[in-house]
Amino acid sequence: MKRLVYILLGSFLGVVLYKSEAASWFRIYEMFQFDAFHMYGIIGSALTIGVVLVFLIKKSKVKSFSGEIIQIPDKEKSFARYIWGGTLFGLGWALAGSCPGPIYILVGAGYWPMVIVLFGALLGAFVYGVLRGKLPH
């Protein structure tokens, strides 16, 4: 049952990102050209409502559906890893026109060259795992 819920949530996310064109390479390019409000509207409204929902979840001390206490751990403090990792990610995001979620969504949509991007992403994650001891964090 729980498994089905995860699959349904993922499917819903896939439909939302595909139908809102957040999974379109063109929308990402347009965003980085500041030519339209569309992507900023999506991220901005998700964030605004997200801040309120996370605040309410934390404040109400609501339990999870399975009865556990909800803990949202803080991100580990650092500067180097976020700015360097973030910048490298941004370079890839703009070139692929796609972040990790949409890579999967677009494979599902039948854009087969996206499989090459996915392979590259797996390779990138693997190389990071091997090199991470040598990188500034």
Partner 1 sequence: MLYQPWPWYVAGPLIAIIMALLILMGKRFGMSSNLETLCSIGGAGKYSDYFKVDIKSKRWNLLVVLGSVIGGFVGANVLSPNPAVDISDDTVAKLNELGFESAGKSYLPTELFALESLSDPKVWAILLVAGFLVGFGTRYAGGCTSGHAISGLSNLQRPSLIAVIGFFVGGLIMVHLLFPLIFAV
Q: Which residue has the tokens 């001390």?
A: 61
Cα–Cα distance for residue pair 12/71, rounded to 1 Å: 25
Q: How far is the CB of 107 from partner 1 (least distance, A)?
A: 6
59 belongs to the binding site for partner 1 (CB under 8 A): no
Q: Which residue has the tokens 């360097």?
A: 84
Q: Which residue has the tokens 């040598």?
A: 134
Q: Is the distance from CB of 66 to CB of 60 less than 8 angstroms?
A: no
32 belongs to the binding site for partner 1 (CB under 8 A): yes
State which of positions 67-106 bind partner 1 (CB under 8 A): 68, 70, 72, 74-79, 81-101, 103-106
Instruction: Kindly report the backbone phi and psi dihedral angles of residue 58, in degrees, each rounded to the nearest multiple of 5, phi listed first.
Output: -70, -45
22 belongs to the binding site for partner 1 (CB under 8 A): yes
1 belongs to the binding site for partner 1 (CB under 8 A): no
Pick from 1, 11, 61, 134: which binds partner 1 (CB under 8 A)?
11
128 belongs to the binding site for partner 1 (CB under 8 A): yes
Cα–Cα distance for residue pair 130/137, rounded to 1 Å: 14
60 belongs to the binding site for partner 1 (CB under 8 A): no
Pick from 29, 59, 61, 134: which binds partner 1 (CB under 8 A)?
29
